[in-house]
Structure 1
Amino acid sequence: MIPENYLEKTYAGFLGMNIGIRLGAPVEPTAWTSERIERFYGDIKDYVKPFKNFAADDDVNGPVYFLRALTDRENKNSLTPQDVANAWLNYTREGVGMFWWGGYGVSTEHTAYLNLKRGVSAPLSGSASTNGLVMSEQIGGQIFIDTWGLIFPDQIEKAAEFASIAASVSHDFNGKYGAAFIAACISKAYVTSDVLEIVSAGLSQIPKSSTYAEVVRAVMQFHEAHPEDFRLCLKFLQDHWGYDKYTGVCHIIPNAGVCVLSMLYGKTFNRTVEIATMCGWDTDCNAGNVGTIMGVAGGLEQVGMHYRKPINDSVVLSGISGYLNILDIPTYVKEIAIIGYEQSGVAAPKSLLESYRAGEIYFDFELSGATHNFRVSNPTFCSIRHSDRIAYKGTGSLEILFDRMSRGQSSKIYYKPFYRRFDFDDERYMPVFSPTAYPGQIVSMMVSLKQFSGESIIINPYVRNTDTKADVLLGGIVLKDELWHEIQFVIPDLGGSMIDEIGLLFEANSPAKNKDFGCLYIDEFSISGKAHYTIDISKQSAELASITPFSHNHGAWQIEAGLMEAMCLEHAEAMTGNYYSKDICVKGSIKPHTGQMHFISLRVQGALKGYYAGLYKEGIAILRHNHELEVLAYMDYAWEFEEQYPIEFSAIGDQLIFKIDGREALSCVDHVLKYGMVGYALYECGRCGFGNLEVETF
């Protein structure tokens, strides 16, 4: 039975996970100990470090990307370890992002990934028989599985089963038990906030004789005898269950003890993630896991706004898709909830289905407190919050308070569809990005003005060029009443540059003696429709181990003489664009230097799936990659090295058409891949220069 407040609880859980990760990350080991944390930060009650934007973290990469194993397979109601293994291989850029690449035999995830790459199937890829017991019992078993608990509300057996299957790709024994325990706790938290009940549910899903169960019971017993001081329990853990007794880089057992300790002593969301952080060891992992559990258990009302506001409904990832790496939390939890209804065999509410649109930006502001990562450029004059009192549709909207502004004063109110290196303080797991909005698409929103004083205000729709930082204004509108107005505009072409802000330039329009004071409301914000844009290679930059706005997998890439040059020993690929693009035409150019396989691509869904067309051995070809590379169409063609060939590749329905030098050369029909990204690729040792890429969707 799906709880009535399922969506809201899931929202609180996913927010809680990201709050815990962000809180714990700055004091993650090895240099930070619990003693040092206490010495420098005392009794933690807030984030210990501010971030311009919090960079990607493996603790959120795994829960988001590995859950796609379920949606990628035809049978949505079953799961095998190899399904999850395929998600590892498909959504990971080898050696960059996703998880810690600490070396074979050092990092459990790196080891499992290399096993999979070399044909060791799951679950052998993560088994103790393959990697040894110490390697298989590190913490990764439980830190990537929060979403498996979120899709099975009050179904602890199912949550534990699927989480254990997912964890078996890289872990074994206590590593898998940790996954089952945490997922079951999350599942149980949908129907109770009693920590003892939640922990007992987790214990019921793992072997009683396991070390994991032993440490959980030991912490419970210590808490029962000493219920007031969490530091006494921490000392007990350090003395009896510490890293000195469980070797490896980051063993699951000491951290399991911290998770249980923090929930028992914390009781509420805020205090639980704070205690998990103060205990040291794997702080972001532990605070993230208990943040999910206690977020679900306590709901949104328990999540402190001082923790929630900096998250601003946004998280960035570091998977293979730059588009998917920009994640809007309210949108994503709707996707999770829809999966949860599917898994339970229950029809999802119509309102939920209508509010989620894959491949589009659609913000209805219906979830309590939702801001969808909207921002203001001048917080002195304008501030943002959610409103549950005024709405164009439903019950929620975005409320922008403008406070006594006079003519000449302004602030931008905007959504951020693209990130650059300068948006981050650090690089953590090397996130890369492709915009979530493109020229040719239509931006639409409803706005309303409630003015307390002043005469009127002016709003100018605008987009920002990420290269020049120039705002492109698209026509001012004077507002002076409380009616709802529709604002709609087409994103303009920026001559090959990307867009990193979309919104409104808000300008006061009253003299100083009668300052503008009031609220602007935004509702039903969307970016949708056909896109038509060009990526000018000469305007791009090398940053975050890629060339903007591409995500690279393998190879060495640089910009030279207006081309994106790539060289590789086996394979090199550049991907960009909307992950859900269906009917599409891409135009570019290829200048081969060495090698025999140089392609333009579309409907690329990751490292394992995509369509490719271009120069192939002694001719030209259209190929499909679906775990293996297969030629769909071929013809002889006398191409030459150092010649630059204009090429065009389109997919309309199941029809694939390739043109070279302006002439149609190859076509075929294939029904396997329905959507995906675009880009360029080499599929054997070689070097090639790739030109500007023009993309048009239909």
Structure 2
Amino acid sequence: MIPENYVESVYAGFIGMNIGIRLGAPIEPVAWTYERIRDVYGDIRDYVKPYTTFAADDDANGPVFFIRALYDDAADRELEPEDVGRAWLNYAREGIGMFWWGGEDISTEHRAYVNLRKGIPAPKSGSIEVNGEEMAEQIGGQIFIDSWGLLFPGRAEKAAEYAEKAASVSHDGNGLYGARFMAACIAKAFDAASVDEIISEGLRMIPADSTYARVVRAVQDFHRDHPEDFRDCRQYLEEHWGYDKYTGVCHIIPNAGVCVLALLYGDGDFARTVEIASMCGWDTDCNAGNVGSILGVYSGLAGIPDHYRKPINDFIVASSVSGYLNLVDFPTFARELALLGYRLNGETAPQDLVERVKPGEVSFDFDLPGSTHGFRTSNPFKTPVVRHSVQQTYGGRGALEIVFDRLVEGDSSKIYYKPFYRRAEFNDEKYKPTFAPLAYSGQTVSAKIYADQWEGEPIRLTPYVRNTYNREEVLLSPATPENGKWNDIEWVIPDTDGAMIDEIGWILESPSPLANRAIGRLFIGQFRITGEAKYTIDFAKQAKEFGSVTPFSHHRGVWELRDGTLWGKAEGDASSYSGNYYADDTEVEAVITPVSGDSHCLIVRAQGVMRHYLAGFDGPNAVSFIKQEFGAKRLITARYDWEHGQAYHFKLKAQKDHFTLFINGENVLECKDSAFGHGMFGFGCLEDGELHIREVQVRTSVS
């Protein structure tokens, strides 16, 4: 039975995983050995690096995206390995992001992807038969499985079964045992009375005579005889189970030993467990992430220290082909995962949970304990406290509290959310995240704000958005919230003339004099961005960052900015995506100049690399409407005389199951199909060629 606090436990597990990843990432091998970590950082008790924004990581990408197989293919039946293999092909951009592209003879995941592209299906794609034992037993078998454990609370057998199916896309042998073990531990953590009970349940899911089981028992035995110092156990692992005995880039067995070591010596304490996993070296972010998931569920939100949770701020970025899905809000993801969990476990989800999940909308309610939904302020001196609070609530169990301290005329602080990110906000290029904004011109922003002002002249809240091209704030009409009550504040996002929006919120000010300075609190009880989006993309105001042209994610091909135009060149098929992943009715317009090749198309309703529609030039003197569903199928083709080097104004309308393509104002193609009811827009080709794109206009809605 699903536990009463299921959503909170999933939330805690996901937070715990990401804390572990963030803690361990800066001290990964090979540069950081166990000895260097020990000598430089000593007894780790906090993050070792103050990231501006933590970049994407493969350890989080897998848990976020591989479970989408349950939406796309296994929505009404049992999961199969092929379903997860299709998720790999659909959400990963070839050669960039998602996982480590270290070479198909070095990186297990790279090899598995190549196998899938060649038509070798899962689980054969990850098998020892195809890839050899050394590659099949690297650590990836257990680092992508956290969500499977979170989906099956208390059902270790089912969690292990699904984790094995997912891991078999890229791994085999002990790689699969690691997937089963970790997923089972996470599932058991929902109702376990002790860490020993968690580990025992994990062991029960794998063969007793396997090498994986033997290293787990060896660590248990050592801990029983030497429970005082984890470093003694780490030395034992080095001598008997180290990397010199299990070759490859990052074998699962030594790291399995570290995970069990951290669980035992951490003794149920979340912080100590992820710290020990990091201090032990080897694959630090993977190991700390796995045990962080287990201990997050086991200890709950109350067991996660604020100094680890606060920098996370309910947010990570990912690096799939969907820039929209790459902006991961923790409460939103936890609820979506929990709703999926109810379905998989055959139980009816609470109506409150159902109503709070709104795909395609920004919908924040601060209901989950400690939730912040990524909100920030710009002036910590004048707004020194930003935190979750239960002192005022609106339709839930909490609100975001912002304390403002002695504002006078001329003081200000922005209170804002970031719907889009730029390269400058990250410290490194790790896993190349890309972004499509979560907010666009024409949409409506609505909020419930409670004012609790103690002194001073009444405060003003001026709605604004920031144009990311020139970094200017576009201001709207200010509002003065009524003190001592909930205020409805609503406004429409203004046009930014082809640039993206990377901040959205309010500028807080007060006309107070020095003798009567403004002090008090604001509570945000609800924040939503809804409605039809209508915007343009001016490529003169975009940039190439993380290997992609903003705000697009590119799959194959070469995409560049030249003279205010997007240039795309492909050897074979290539595609580029942007926009709301959940957009249904869509109109996309662009001026396209075919330079070479015979395939030049607009894309709509894209649910990934392998699921979308294309419409446009398709061979000499022809236009087609094409369904890409793990293979291109032409639904309709018509004659249209077109020439290389000439600019054409394309307009593609998608209204429910009806599609219309206009070229230079002429209706050239109509088609009906219901395979994909929502998705991103973009550009693509099915063969070699080059095209230039400018003057993009987009109009989308979400039902």
TM above 0.5, one fold?
yes
Residue of structure 2 equivalent to 1:399: 401
Amino acid at match of 1:392: Y
**1:480 offset after TM fit, Å?**
4.8
Residue of structure 1 equivalent to 2:567: 565
**1:546 offset after TM fit, Å?**
0.6
Residue of structure 1 equivalent to 2:350: 349
Say if 2:664 is the partner of 1:658: no
Cα deviations across residues 170-200 of structure 1 (Å, max 9, x unaligned)? 0001000000000000000000251100000
Residue of structure 1 equivalent to 2:277: 276
Give the 3-state SS of the residue equivalent to 1:695 in structure 2: strand
d(CA) in 1 for partners of 2:136, 2:302: 38
Residue of structure 2 equivalent to 1:505: 507
Say if 2:149 is the partner of 1:149: yes
**1:375 offset after TM fit, Å?**
0.4
d(CA) in 1 for partners of 2:374, 2:75: 34
Give the 3-state SS of the residue equivalent to 1:501 in structure 2: strand
Aligned equivalent of 2:450, options 445, 448, 451: 448
Give the 3-state SS of the residue equivalent to 1:180 in structure 2: helix
Aligned equivalent of 1:431, options 430, 433, 457: 433
Could you tell me whether the CA contact under 8 Å between 2:99 and 2:109 is conserved in 1?
Answer: yes
d(CA) in 2 for partners of 1:54, 1:193: 34
d(CA) in 2 for partners of 1:474, 1:365: 25
Could you tell me whether the CA contact under 8 Å between 1:62 and 1:144 is conserved in 2?
Answer: yes
Residue of structure 2 equivalent to 1:96: 96
Residue of structure 2 equivalent to 1:16: 16
**1:562 offset after TM fit, Å?**
2.4
Spell out the pairing of 1:300-319 with structure 2 (5 A cutoff).
Answer: 300-319=301-320
Could you tell me whether the CA contact under 8 Å between 2:640 and 2:668 is conserved in 1?
Answer: no
d(CA) in 1 for partners of 2:74, 2:106: 35
Cα deviations across residues 639-695 of structure 1 (Å, max 9, x unaligned)? 000000001101111101101010111101101111100011121111110112111
Could you tell me whether the CA contact under 8 Å between 1:359 and 1:580 is conserved in 2?
Answer: yes
Could you tell me whether the CA contact under 8 Å between 1:77 and 1:343 is conserved in 2?
Answer: no
d(CA) in 2 for partners of 1:678, 1:412: 32
User: Mean Cα displacement is larger for which, 558-567 or 127-136?
Assistant: 558-567
Amino acid at match of 2:655: I
Change (3 A) 1:376 1:420: same
Cα deviations across residues 522-552 of structure 1 (Å, max 9, x unaligned)? 1111001111111111111111101000101
**1:76 offset after TM fit, Å?**
3.5
* Alignment RMSD: 0.9
Residue of structure 2 equivalent to 1:495: 497
d(CA) in 2 for partners of 1:501, 1:16: 27
d(CA) in 1 for partners of 2:248, 2:486: 60
Could you tell me whether the CA contact under 8 Å between 1:55 and 1:431 is conserved in 2?
Answer: yes
Give the 3-state SS of the residue equivalent to 1:13 in structure 2: helix
**1:338 offset after TM fit, Å?**
0.2
Give the 3-state SS of the residue equivalent to 1:372 in structure 2: coil
Residue of structure 2 equivalent to 1:361: 362
Could you tell me whether the CA contact under 8 Å between 2:369 and 2:397 is conserved in 1?
Answer: no
Cα deviations across residues 239-271 of structure 1 (Å, max 9, x unaligned)? 100000000000000000000000100021000
Amino acid at match of 2:452: K
Cα deviations across residues 124-166 of structure 1 (Å, max 9, x unaligned)? 1000010000100000000000000000000000000000000
**1:584 offset after TM fit, Å?**
0.8
Residue of structure 2 equivalent to 1:669: 672
d(CA) in 2 for partners of 1:193, 1:460: 51
Amino acid at match of 1:484: W
Residue of structure 2 equivalent to 1:590: 592
**1:31 offset after TM fit, Å?**
1.1
Cα deviations across residues 406-436 of structure 1 (Å, max 9, x unaligned)? 2210000000000011110111000011101
**1:573 offset after TM fit, Å?**
1.2
d(CA) in 1 for partners of 2:211, 2:289: 22
Give the 3-state SS of the residue equivalent to 2:421 in structure 1: coil
**1:515 offset after TM fit, Å?**
1.5
Say if 2:683 is the partner of 1:680: yes
Amino acid at match of 2:311: P
d(CA) in 2 for partners of 1:36, 1:83: 42
Amino acid at match of 1:233: C
Spell out the pairing of 1:164-563 with structure 2 (5 A cutoff).
Answer: 164-267=164-267, 268-382=269-383, 383-563=385-565
Could you tell me whether the CA contact under 8 Å between 2:418 and 2:504 is conserved in 1?
Answer: yes
Cα deviations across residues 364-413 of structure 1 (Å, max 9, x unaligned)? 10000000000001111113100112012222111001122222100000
**1:579 offset after TM fit, Å?**
0.3
Aligned equivalent of 1:601, options 600, 603, 620: 603
Structure 1 gaps of 5+ residues are: none
d(CA) in 2 for partners of 1:229, 1:442: 56
Change (3 A) 1:477 1:290: same
Could you tell me whether the CA contact under 8 Å between 1:186 and 1:296 is conserved in 2?
Answer: yes
Amino acid at match of 1:610: H
**1:621 offset after TM fit, Å?**
1.1
Amino acid at match of 1:223: H
d(CA) in 2 for partners of 1:171, 1:368: 37
Give the 3-state SS of the residue equivalent to 1:311 in structure 2: coil
Residue of structure 2 equivalent to 1:39: 39
d(CA) in 1 for partners of 2:165, 2:550: 36
Give the ranges of 4+ consecutive aligned residues of structure 1 lying more than 2 Å apart after TM superposition.
74-77
Cα deviations across residues 276-326 of structure 1 (Å, max 9, x unaligned)? 000000000000000000000000011010000000000000111000000
Give the 3-state SS of the residue equivalent to 2:310 in structure 1: helix
**1:572 offset after TM fit, Å?**
1.9
d(CA) in 2 for partners of 1:638, 1:130: 48
Say if 2:643 is the partner of 1:640: yes
d(CA) in 2 for partners of 1:15, 1:193: 21
**1:34 offset after TM fit, Å?**
1.4
d(CA) in 1 for partners of 2:655, 2:148: 35
d(CA) in 2 for partners of 1:67, 1:47: 29
Could you tell me whether the CA contact under 8 Å between 1:455 and 1:480 is conserved in 2?
Answer: no
d(CA) in 2 for partners of 1:422, 1:648: 34
Say if 2:624 is the partner of 1:621: yes
Give the 3-state SS of the residue equivalent to 2:311 in structure 1: helix
d(CA) in 2 for partners of 1:378, 1:472: 19
Could you tell me whether the CA contact under 8 Å between 1:592 and 1:643 is conserved in 2?
Answer: yes
**1:501 offset after TM fit, Å?**
0.4
Spell out the pairing of 1:100-115 with structure 2 (5 A cutoff).
Answer: 100-115=100-115
Amino acid at match of 1:656: F
d(CA) in 2 for partners of 1:358, 1:141: 30
Aligned equivalent of 2:696, options 669, 693, 696: 693
Length, aligned pairs only: 698
Amino acid at match of 2:632: L
Amino acid at match of 2:20: G
d(CA) in 2 for partners of 1:515, 1:230: 54
Could you tell me whether the CA contact under 8 Å between 1:457 and 1:480 is conserved in 2?
Answer: no
Amino acid at match of 1:339: L
User: Mean Cα displacement is larger for which, 149-158 or 385-394?
Assistant: 385-394
Could you tell me whether the CA contact under 8 Å between 1:322 and 1:434 is conserved in 2?
Answer: yes
